[in-house]
Amino acid sequence: MILQGKRVALPPAPVVHKQFESHAHTTPDAVAVVCAGQQVTYAELDARANRFAHFLVARGCGRGAKVGVCLDYSVDMLVAILGTLKAGAAYVPLDPAYPPARLKLLLGQIPDLALIVASPATAAMVESAAAEAVDLQQLSDHLAALPAAAPDTAVTGDDVCYAVFTSGSTGTPKLTAVRHEGWFNLMNWLTLEYGLHSGSHNLVVSAFGFDLSQRALMTPLFCGATQHLMASRNFDAMMAYRMLTQHEIRVVHCASSTLYLLVDWESARGGDALTRLDYILIGGEPLKVERLTDWARRENNTCTVLHQYGVAECTDVATSFDFAGYRPGEHDIAPVGRPAYNTEIHLLDEQLRGVGPGEYGEVYISGASVGAGYLNGSGPESAKFSTVVVDGETRRMYRTGDRGCVNSAGDLVVAGRMDAQVKVRGMRIDPTDIERALGRLDGVREAAVVVSHHVGDGELVAFIVPAGDDLGEQPDENDVRARLLAALPRNMVPARFVSIPRIPLSPHGKVDRAALVDACRNLYTDSATTA
């Protein structure tokens, strides 16, 4: 089964920063970025980025080089990113929100890192790197003397524009490289398909290290709009919602779990900042539709929610589905829709044969979005990038490891990871299936299920956020178990149910399952102490 995205011609050199430069030329006085009360125009941002690009080229950090960026959200971050692109180099996000040990691990996984852009607040976080760290503020006098025009650097669509870390099934972080052609294709599709324009102002709410954040940072500059940045290292729902209320923001990209928090904030206060947006683009983890249904059906809600699917290895987004088309009675799982421009979705069996409509297979992605591979990879995960003959035609593909099918409407449905199943008491179980069943129960707002290995071969533990406003209204454990038994086999019903006020999130805005496993450890320790 193949889903084919619309074929759209790209320019001879589909290079992302050239689109930004065209706006800097035609609308130089338009506001490009707003952060902490500071406003910078397109012309100003372009000139500052050009000067930094000249600095990089003079240092030998031009085409093909890798430049680390370890900065909090700021104007300097965009200067560093755009300047790196203009020099022909690729940037690597080094998220200051990560623990120091994690950053040290990531730094050791970047081959031939040329330079790191840091600040006084982040310099100590990257001191373990062999590469030199520079501070744009300390370099301000030197940069001011460099040309304000762009350097004469040839950049092609096949060149790498950025590389982000993804966890990888081996446990070692993988540094996956994205090409200019794929990134340009993604933003060109978003701009044309959804009518983004100079008024499609954006607010970044996800962590810098997240692959989703890269398109969130660049898309407004691609279409001539204003980028709003929160002056906060970690996600702050109150600050984010206040900015949505105070500014003419029209678009937000975020993980699903981040949107749940914003929806809760709006619902509790009777606000309408979210409902007045043009678009919210969500993805990155399985969607819990029950968390959005009531909000989406609110009167006067004119916001279009796009449920999207993709992987970092293929430029973040491969398909998109308008959540307004979701029908609980028709869809057990919310679809993720149709492919982006110049993108193909293949559903193949173990022999790389296409499966039929409605049949499940592994999701493969081909087309312009397929990245350049893992920069630090030589192990088994690198084999996920391959050249495959499908229907007599040779295609470069990425094997996602996700299980999906095409429904009767022609939309892709992703049911979960091929390797997401866990074995409990000899039986294989997908925790996502249990979470979906729990989310449909009255009295349960949200749930996350993990396996605790503190007892025997392990047992399932469900963490539940009650539908009420406090834990005093938590559902009875025996009642939840009985209702779950009516929907699931006995071996899929968790052994323990724990009510918590909220599901913990990682810096990327996804469910922090590691934190829940740690909570299990404390849970069993407390039980043993009590006994």
**pLDDT beneath 50: ranges in the chain:** 169-170, 528, 531
Concatenating the DSSP letter of every residue in 182-202 gives HHHHHHHHHHHHTT--TT--E
Instruction: Give residue 427's pLDDT.
Output: 60
Sequence-distant (6+) residues with CB within 8 A of 270 are none
Contacts of 222 (CB under 8 A, 6+ apart): 16, 19, 20, 187, 188, 191
pLDDT of residue 367: 95
Rounded to whole angstroms, how far apart are CA atoms 525 and 136?
A: 49
CA distances from 410 to 49, 85, 322, 385, 413 (A): 44, 38, 13, 26, 9
Q: Are 15 and 52 in contact (CB under 8 A)?
A: no
pLDDT 10s digits, 473-505: 667 888 888 888 887 777 788 888 888 888 888
For the segment 414-437, what is each residue's pLDDT rounded down to a tens digit? Answer: 987 776 656 565 566 778 778 888
Give pLDDT, residue 412. 96
pLDDT at 169: 47
Residue 187 neighbours by CB under 8 Å, 6+ apart: 16, 19, 215, 218, 219, 222, 223
Phi-psi sector, 81: left (phi>0), alpha (psi -120 to 50), beta: alpha
**Residues with Cβ < 8 Å from 479, sequence gap 6 or more?**
none
Residues contacting 489, CB < 8 A, separation 6+: none
Which residues are registered as beta bridge partners of 398?
Answer: 365, 385
Backbone phi, psi, residue 368, to 5°: -65, -25
> What domains are there in the chain, each with its CATH number?
40-155 (3.40.50.980), 338-417 (2.30.38.10), 422-530 (3.30.300.30)
Closest by Cα among 359, 358, 349, 433 to 399: 349
Nearest to 461 by CA among 433, 493, 503: 493
Confidence (pLDDT) at 455: 59
